[in-house]
Chains A and B, each alone.
Chain A
Amino acid sequence: MKHFVILCSVLLTCCSCGRKAPQHHSEDLPPIFPDYTDVFIPANIAPLNFGIEDATAIQAVISDNGTTLLEANGKDYVKFPPSKWKDLLQRYRGKEISISVSAWSKKNPDGIRYKDFKIYIDGSEIDDYVAYRLIPPGYIGWNKMAIMQRQLSSFSETPIITNNENEGGCINCHNFCKGSPEHYMLHARNKGGGTIIVKDGVMSKRDIAFGSFKATYPCWHPDGRYIAFSVNDVHQSFYSHCASKIEVFDFSSDLVIYDSKEDRVIEDTRFTDTLHMETFPAFSPDGKTLFFCSAEPHILPYEVDSMHYSVLRVPFDATTGKLGTPVDTVYNARTQGGSASHPRVSPDGKYLLISRADCGTFTIHHPEADLILINLETGDICKPENINSDSAPDSYHSWSSNGKWVAFTSRRTDGRTTDLYFARFNAGHFSKPFLLPQKNPYKNLQRFFSYNVPEFVTGKVNTNRDKMSQMLQSSK
C-alpha cells in the first residue's frame, strides 16, 4: 500500500509538472508539415493541424498581440480542437493571428522555440465541399478508385461513388454544373458503363459517343442543358532514363456538344476534322463562350515534343447548342511557347487559368508543368511564382464559386503522388498555397492515392449508391 501511494504521488507530480519551457530559440520558421507559415486561409476552413518530423513533443500557441487564443500540444503533430478553431476563425475573420511553435526532439531534448509565423484569415469563405477522384498514383492499372467529397470546414471525407459500384471498372471525369451538388455527371467505364447524369437529383445513364470513341473530358454549360465534350482516343507510353515517367497522349481528339435534354450529340465539322486535335473544353461563366485546347496532329508518341496545344475560344449559342464564329486564339502556343491544358475561366469571367507544359496534353505527368494566369481583358499572361513549384507538376485547377479561391493539384511533396492545394486569389494575385488540412497532417503523405480533378461543390452530394450501381450494371 505504501509503495502504491508513493507511486501515485510520483505519477501525480510528473503529470502536474508538465514540460519544461523550451531552452533554445531559433530565428528560423518552424519546419512544420504541411507548411502553413504565412498563408491566407478562408474563414471556414478546417483546423490547420501540422507536425514536425522527428519531434517527440510539439506545442503550438495561437495568439493575438500577446493574448493566447488557442493552444495545442501533441507528440509529432498538433491537433486544434475543431469547435474552438471555428470560433477563432469567425472572431478573427479578416485579421491575422500569430502562431508560436516549440518542439522537443532527440536532437533538441531541451526544446526549441521557433520564430513565430502568421496566418491571415480572409474575410471570404471557400465552397463547403471539394470533389475529387482518388486514384493510385500510377500508370495503366488500378485497383481501387473513388470519386470522393471532402467537407472543407471539417475533416469529413465521404464517397460519391467508388469503383465497387461499377464492379471494379474505372470511374472518371466528374463535372458539376456551377458547382451544384444536384447537377453533375461522371463517366463509368465497364460492361454496363456509360455517362451518369444527375439533374436536379434525378439520375440517368447515357451512352455518349462520337465515332468509335466515348465522350471524355466534359464541361457543363452554366444553363445546365448542354455539356461540351472532347472525344479522345487516349494512350500512354513510358519513358526510361528521363525526368518524365509517363506520356499520355491522344491519337485523335474532337470537340462536340451534348444536349442532355434531347439526348443528342451536336457536331461541328470545324472541330471534328483530323486537321486539328481539340480537347479540354470549358465554358465561360456566362455560357456565351467555349474555351478549348487545340493542336496540330503529329506522330505520337515519337513526336510528342512537337505537340503544342493553344487555347482557343468560340462563341456558343445556348438557344441552338451551336458554336459560332469567330474562332479566336487566347493563348498561342506557337508564339507564346509551351503547350496549354485545362483552361478554366474565373467566375467573374476576367481571368483564365491554364496549366502549361513544354509539350503534350497531359500536364500532370510533366515535371515542368505550371499554372499560368491569363487576363482575358488585357491579354496579359503571367506565371504566378508563388503557387508554382520548381520541379514538380502543378495542374488540375478549379475556381471556387466566389472566385476568391483556387484548388489545384501538385506533386511537389514527393514528385509522384498528387496532393490537393488551395490558394487565395485577389485582383490577379495568388497568395501562398496551403495543403488540404487533415486531422492527422501526415495523412497526405501516407495516402495510397493521388487527388485527381478537384472540383469545388457548393454542398454535399447525396448519391443513392445502390441505384447508381444498379444502373451501371444494367445493360440499358
Chain B
Amino acid sequence: MSKTDKILYFLFFIAISLGISLVYPQTIAQMEATDYFVWNDDYLTMKIAELPGITALLSDYLLQFFRWQGVGMTIEAVILTLTALLLSDIPRRIGHTTYRALGLLLPVILLFVALFQIEFYLQILFMVLAIWIFFFIRQGWLKHLYLLMFCMSSLFLMPWTMAVTALLAMMAGKILQGHKIIVPGIILVAGIIWLYIEVGLLNRLVGFIPFDHRYLYSPVDGLSLWLYLSIFVLTLTICLIPMPRRKWASRCIQGAVFIACCTDIYLICTNPVFLREEKGYQLAALAENKAWKQILETIPKNEISSNKAYATYALLAEAALGTLPDNMFNYPVIFSENLLYRNNSKDFCRNFNRQFYENIEIYDECFRQSYEFGIQCRNGASFASMRQMVKYAILTENFPVARKYIAKLSQSPTHKTWARQWTQALESQQKRNRTQDKPKRSNTFLGAYQLGVEMKGQLEFGIQNPLIIDYALISFLLDCDLDNFLRILTTYPIYSRHQLPKAYAEAVAMIVYDTGDENIRRYVSYSPQYDLDFRKFDAQYTAQQEGREPEGETTDFSKTYWNYFVKASRITPSQP
C-alpha cells in the first residue's frame, strides 16, 4: 500500500469517526437508545432465528457502545475501513495487481445509500472477510474444508444473496488464478444448491423465516434489491479485476476516490432530511435536560408552522416556562390534541408524549409511553425505554418492576454503573417508606378523552399541578369549550392574585362582552385594555363580514384568541 493510499484510508476513517459524529451526535445516540442487547434465552433465540442471526446479535452488541457517540462512530469507521482494506487486499491474494484506493469505493457507496446501518455493514464485512480468507488460505484441502464451513455457516452471518456473491467471487478468483472452469463451476453450483436448501432447513429448525426474507431481498429497508445487488457486482468487479500498475492511473484513481469520499461526506453532512431528524433529537435531548429556554432559541421560528416537531417542543417549553397562556396563539395549533402526538406510535412521538407527561408529573403515563417507545424498536425493547421505565417505576413506587428492569439492564456491559446507581436510588426510595394506598381505580383516564377533559379528570382527582390547570384551560380554549374554561378558571384560582395571562384575558373579555355577565370579574382580574381591544376586534370583524371597510385604523389581531375562536368555531363573537 502506497503512502498516499494510507493517507486516504486514514482520512476516510477520521471523516467517519469524527466528522459524522460531530454533525449527527443525537442521531447516533438514538441508535443506542433504540437498541437492546442482553444474554437472555428469549432474546438470543429470537435473534438467532432472525437470519443472519449472529450478525444481528453482534450488531446489537456493538450498538450498545453508541451511547458514547465517538466510540460508536469509531466502531462504524473500523468496520467500514476494515471492509475496504480487506477488499483491496483480495486481488493481491489472488496474485494480481490493482489499485488499493479502489477498496474505499464500497464503503463510500454504503455510507451514501445506507447510513448508520451497522448490521448491514457487518454483513458486508463478513462477506468480504469470507472471500479474503478463502484466498489467504494456501493449502488446497484447507481451502475445501473452509468452503464447506462457509456454506454451512454463512447464512448466520450474511443474507443469501451475499453468501452466493461471496461464493461467486471465490470461484471467479479461482478461475482468475488459472484454474479450469469446470471444478469451480461445479463447486459454485453445488454451493448455491446447498445454500438454497439450507434456508429451508433453517426455516424448519431454527425459526420461521418470512417468505420475503429468504432468498432475493434487500437487507436494508428502502434500498431496492437491484440497486443493492448492483453495488456488489460493480464494486467487487472493479476491485477484483487485475489492473496493470501505472503511476498516472494510480494518481487519477486516488484523486477520484478522494473526491468521491469528500462528496459523500459533504452530502451526508448537509442532507436536509438527516439534519431535520437530528434537530428533532436535539430538541428531545434539550427537553430531557429541561433546557427550555435553549429549546426556544434553537427552534427556527420560520419553520414552526411547517414542522410539527418544532411546534410541539416550542409549546412544551412555553408550558414549562409558564409562558404558554401568554404565547399560545403565536403558534399554529388548531386543536387541543395537537399539543402532543396522541395516536402516533413512532418512537419520536412516544418520546415526546413521555416528556409531555413528565412535565406534568403523571408518571404512570410516562411509564406507558416509555414502554410503547420500546415496543416499537427493532427488538421490542430498548435501552432508553428500559432506563426510563426504571425511573418511572421508582417514581410510582412500583419497586418490583423497577428491580426487574434494573436486573435486565445490568446484564449489558455498558450499564453496570448505571444499574448500581439506580439500585441505590431504588433502595433509598424504598427506605423513605412513603408508600400510600392508591385507589384501585378512578376517573384519571388518559387517552380516553380529549386533553381538556383528561386534565380536568386529574384536577378532580386532586392533582392540582399549575401546569395541569394551564393545560386544561388552554385545551378548553383550543376546543372552544368556554363553559369548561370558565369552570376551571373559577374552581382552581391560580390566577386570583395575578393579572390573567394574555390568552385567558382575551377569552374572558370576549365572554364578558358577549354575555354581559360581569360575575367573572369577581374571580379574575385583567387589564381593561383587553375589553377595549375586543370591542375593536368585534367591530373590525363585523365590518369584514359585512364587506365594508372598518372605521379607523385596522389592527392586526391574528395572534389573539379572538381570531382563533372565530376561525375555529366559524361563528361571530357576538353570537357565541
Residues of A within 8 A of B (CB): 136, 138-144, 159, 162, 164-165, 167, 236-245, 247, 301-302, 304-305, 358-359, 366-368, 413-417, 440, 443, 445-449, 465-466, 469-470, 473
B443 at the interface (CB under 8 A from A): yes
A366 touches B445 (CB 8 A): no
Question: How far, in whole Å, are A305 and B42 apart by their CA atoms in the complex?
Answer: 38
User: Contacts A144-B380, A416-B401 given: A469-B362 contact, CB under 8 Å?
Assistant: no
B516 at the interface (CB under 8 A from A): no
Chain A residues near B463: list those with CB within 8 A: 240-241
Digitize B457-486: 1 where CB-to-A-CB distance is under 8 Å, 0 elsewhere: 010010100000000000000000000000
A244 touches B441 (CB 8 A): yes
Digitize B341-378: 1 where CB-to-A-CB distance is under 8 Å, 0 elsewhere: 00001000000000000000011110010011001110
Digitize B33-59: 1 where CB-to-A-CB distance is under 8 Å, 0 elsewhere: 000000011110010000000000000
B368 touches A237 (CB 8 A): no
A242 touches B400 (CB 8 A): no
Chain B residues near A143: list those with CB within 8 A: 375-377, 379-380
- Shortest Cβ distance from residue A251 to the other chain B in the assembled complex, whole angstroms: 12
Question: How far, in whole Å, are A146 and B207 apart by their CA atoms in the complex?
Answer: 12
B222 at the interface (CB under 8 A from A): no
24 A-B pairs whose Cβ atoms sit less than 8 Å apart in the complex: A143-B375, A164-B208, A164-B210, A239-B446, A240-B444, A240-B446, A240-B463, A241-B438, A242-B364, A242-B439, A243-B438, A243-B440, A245-B364, A301-B448, A302-B443, A302-B448, A304-B441, A358-B440, A359-B441, A414-B400, A414-B401, A414-B404, A440-B41, A469-B210
In the complex, residue of chain B having the shortest beta-carbon distance to the beta carbon of A303: B443
A241 touches B444 (CB 8 A): yes
B336 at the interface (CB under 8 A from A): no
User: Contacts A238-B447, A414-B404, A440-B41 given: A136-B440 contact, CB under 8 Å?
Assistant: no
Question: How far, in whole Å, are A367 and B439 apart by their CA atoms in the complex?
Answer: 11
- Shortest Cβ distance from residue A10 to the other chain B in the assembled complex, whole angstroms: 32
Question: How far, in whole Å, are A472 and B348 apart by their CA atoms in the complex?
Answer: 31
Chain A residues near B117: list those with CB within 8 A: none
B408 touches A446 (CB 8 A): yes
- Shortest Cβ distance from residue B402 to the other chain A in the assembled complex, whole angstroms: 10
B428 at the interface (CB under 8 A from A): no
User: Contacts A140-B372, A469-B210 given: A238-B40 contact, CB under 8 Å?
Assistant: no
User: Contacts A139-B368, A237-B446, A447-B42 given: A242-B375 contact, CB under 8 Å?
Assistant: no
Chain B residues near A440: list those with CB within 8 A: 41
Question: How far, in whole Å, are A236 and B448 apart by their CA atoms in the complex?
Answer: 8
In the complex, residue of chain A having the shortest beta-carbon distance to the beta carbon of B400: A414
User: Contacts A237-B448, A240-B458, A414-B400 given: A366-B208 contact, CB under 8 Å?
Assistant: no
CB contact list, B189-217 vs A, under 8 A: 203, 207-211
Question: How far, in whole Å, are A237 and B449 apart by their CA atoms in the complex?
Answer: 9
B379 touches A239 (CB 8 A): no
In the complex, residue of chain A having the shortest beta-carbon distance to the beta carbon of B343: A140
- Shortest Cβ distance from residue B463 to the other chain A in the assembled complex, whole angstroms: 7
Question: How far, in whole Å, are A138 and B448 apart by their CA atoms in the complex?
Answer: 17
Question: Which of A242, A414, A447 is close to B438, meaning CB atoms less than 8 Å apart?
Answer: A242
Question: How far, in whole Å, are A391 and B363 apart by their CA atoms in the complex?
Answer: 21
B398 at the interface (CB under 8 A from A): yes
Question: How far, in whole Å, are A236 and B343 apart by their CA atoms in the complex?
Answer: 13
B345 touches A141 (CB 8 A): yes
B441 touches A237 (CB 8 A): no
Question: How far, in whole Å, are A167 and B13 apart by their CA atoms in the complex?
Answer: 39
A448 touches B210 (CB 8 A): no
**Which 8 pairs of residues, A with B, have the shortest CB-CB distance?**
A143-B380, A237-B448, A414-B400, A141-B375, A240-B364, A237-B445, A240-B444, A243-B438
B442 at the interface (CB under 8 A from A): yes
B381 at the interface (CB under 8 A from A): yes
User: Contacts A368-B440, A448-B43 given: A167-B210 contact, CB under 8 Å?
Assistant: yes
Chain A residues near B363: list those with CB within 8 A: 240
- Shortest Cβ distance from residue B521 to the other chain A in the assembled complex, whole angstroms: 34
- Shortest Cβ distance from residue A379 to the other chain B in the assembled complex, whole angstroms: 28
B210 touches A138 (CB 8 A): no
Question: How far, in whole Å, are A136 and B379 apart by their CA atoms in the complex?
Answer: 11
Question: How far, in whole Å, are A249 and B407 apart by their CA atoms in the complex?
Answer: 33
B441 touches A239 (CB 8 A): yes
Chain A residues near B364: list those with CB within 8 A: 238-242, 245
- Shortest Cβ distance from residue B461 to the other chain A in the assembled complex, whole angstroms: 6
- Shortest Cβ distance from residue B367 to the other chain A in the assembled complex, whole angstroms: 8
Question: How far, in whole Å, are A39 and B375 apart by their CA atoms in the complex?
Answer: 37
Chain B residues near A244: list those with CB within 8 A: 440-441
Question: How far, in whole Å, are A304 and B448 apart by their CA atoms in the complex?
Answer: 12
User: Contacts A139-B371, A141-B375 given: A242-B211 contact, CB under 8 Å?
Assistant: no
Question: How far, in whole Å, are A390 and B371 apart by their CA atoms in the complex?
Answer: 26
B445 touches A413 (CB 8 A): no
Question: How far, in whole Å, are A376 and B403 apart by their CA atoms in the complex?
Answer: 43
Chain B residues near A416: list those with CB within 8 A: 398, 400-401, 404
Question: Which of B211, B376, B407 is close to A473, meaning CB atoms less than 8 Å apart?
Answer: B211
CB contact list, B385-437 vs A, under 8 A: 398, 400-401, 403-404, 407-408
Beyond the given pairs A239-B441, A241-B362, 8 more chain A to chain B contacts, judged by CB atoms under 8 angstroms and listed by A's residue number, are A136-B380, A159-B207, A238-B447, A242-B364, A243-B440, A368-B440, A417-B404, A469-B210
A241 touches B442 (CB 8 A): yes
A240 touches B362 (CB 8 A): yes
Question: How far, in whole Å, are A457 and B87 apart by their CA atoms in the complex?
Answer: 55
- Shortest Cβ distance from residue B233 to the other chain A in the assembled complex, whole angstroms: 30
A162 touches B442 (CB 8 A): no
Question: How far, in whole Å, are A456 and B380 apart by their CA atoms in the complex?
Answer: 28
Question: How far, in whole Å, are A169 and B379 apart by their CA atoms in the complex?
Answer: 15
Question: How far, in whole Å, are A103 and B364 apart by their CA atoms in the complex?
Answer: 39
Question: How far, in whole Å, are A466 and B404 apart by their CA atoms in the complex?
Answer: 36
- Shortest Cβ distance from residue B363 to the other chain A in the assembled complex, whole angstroms: 8
- Shortest Cβ distance from residue A259 to the other chain B in the assembled complex, whole angstroms: 32
B438 touches A415 (CB 8 A): no
A165 touches B208 (CB 8 A): yes
In the complex, residue of chain B having the shortest beta-carbon distance to the beta carbon of A165: B208
- Shortest Cβ distance from residue A463 to the other chain B in the assembled complex, whole angstroms: 10
B440 touches A142 (CB 8 A): no
- Shortest Cβ distance from residue A336 to the other chain B in the assembled complex, whole angstroms: 19
Q: Which of A238, A240, A440, A443 has the most CB of B within 10 A?
A: A240
In the complex, residue of chain A having the shortest beta-carbon distance to the beta carbon of B372: A141
Chain A residues near B439: list those with CB within 8 A: 241-243
Question: Which of B211, B371, B445, B448 is close to A469, meaning CB atoms less than 8 Å apart?
Answer: B211
B441 touches A142 (CB 8 A): no
In the complex, residue of chain A having the shortest beta-carbon distance to the beta carbon of B50: A164
A301 touches B375 (CB 8 A): no
In the complex, residue of chain B having the shortest beta-carbon distance to the beta carbon of A236: B447
Question: How far, in whole Å, are A413 and B440 apart by their CA atoms in the complex?
Answer: 19
Question: How far, in whole Å, are A236 and B368 apart by their CA atoms in the complex?
Answer: 13
- Shortest Cβ distance from residue B330 to the other chain A in the assembled complex, whole angstroms: 30
Question: Which of A140, A141, A445, A449 is close to B404, meaning CB atoms less than 8 Å apart?
Answer: A445
A238 touches B441 (CB 8 A): no
User: Contacts A413-B400, A448-B381 given: A366-B440 contact, CB under 8 Å?
Assistant: yes
- Shortest Cβ distance from residue B456 to the other chain A in the assembled complex, whole angstroms: 12
Question: How far, in whole Å, are A420 and B291 apart by their CA atoms in the complex?
Answer: 46
